[in-house]
Amino acid sequence: PVQVMPTLRQLSVSCGISLRVEREHYPALVAALRDALLSPEEYRLYYVDHTQIKEMKEG
């Protein structure tokens, strides 16, 4: 399950469109990005809650 939404202003370096994915779906998202053969330079992943925004690094 994914929700399309505007990119947060704090992350304005991107194209302006983001996908919101709940935390429990993060492993499936990373797997789907790998299967799509996207390079890590083509997207960024962030953890966002009410108090912080943190870029996620694939392990």
pLDDT in tens, 3-58: 998 888 877 665 688 888 998 998 998 899 889 988 888 888 888 888 888 888 76
- Quick one: which of 22, 15, 8, 20 has its CA closest to 53? 8
- The bridge status of strand 53-56 relative to strand 17-20 is unpaired
Q: What is the pLDDT of residue 14?
A: 58
Q: What is the pLDDT of residue 58?
A: 65
Residue 59 predicted with pLDDT over 70: no
Contact (CB, 8 A) for 18 and 6: yes
Q: What is the pLDDT of residue 24?
A: 93
